[in-house]
Amino acid sequence: EIFTIFSNSVTNGGKTTLAEKLKNMLPNCDIISQDDFFKPESEVETDERGFKLYDVLDALYMDEMVTSIRNWMKSPARSGVVTQEPQNTRDNLKNVCILIVEGFLLYNYEPLNELWNRRYFLTLPYEECKKRRSTRVYQPPDTPGYFDGHVWPMYLKYKNELEENPSMQVDYLDGTKSQEELLSYVYSDIIQELNKLRE
């Protein structure tokens, strides 16, 4: 049995950390990261201001990403992680293979839409997001004004598109909460969903 979790977030929203921690807690769990599918810099478009347009689907090999997810679903990885769950929950989980797909532009790409069981979206307010972004080193490095000129506007556009689409079942999470709180919430939610599937 395959269970897929899609974790989306604003830049530096904490999705990768959350995904890694979940992987260590869930049995037979693997992660596919959207960041692994960026096109090389030479293939990413530049706008009239000289900004590289990384925060759009065209900057990514999305068809390759879908292929990777489908291939994983055909032959999922079995890790044998022993979870700390009570025996009955553990028995419930042992035949499940879980895939976490994490990225920043997952829910507006049609071919991914039939592949998920649960969707989460980590959000951050502007100031916190900008502060976190400024502490990270990117290749290529952010040019001056890049966050305000490209990254944040694209995030807002994307989030608005999601919120205007009533068929999108997304669980929005507050990225300013502690990692422990977010992990505890998402983990419990996943276990609950898995138990429902079993009923």
Q: Would you please indicate which residues are annotated as catalytic (active-site) residues?
A: 35
Tokens of 140: 């290529």
Residue 171 pairs with which residues in a beta bridge? 120
Of the candidates 118, 92, 91, 97, the residue with the CA atom closest to the CA atom of residue 173: 118
What single letter denotes the amino acid at residue 30? D
- State how far the Cα of 15 lies from the Cα of 2, in Å rounded to an integer: 21
Could you tell me the CA-to-CA distances from 79 to 46, 97, 157 in Å, in that order? 41, 9, 38
CB 147 within 8 A of CB 95: no
Tokens of 9: 């977030």
Could you tell me the CA-to-CA distances from 158 to 8, 30, 57, 132, 190 in Å, in that order? 11, 26, 11, 20, 25
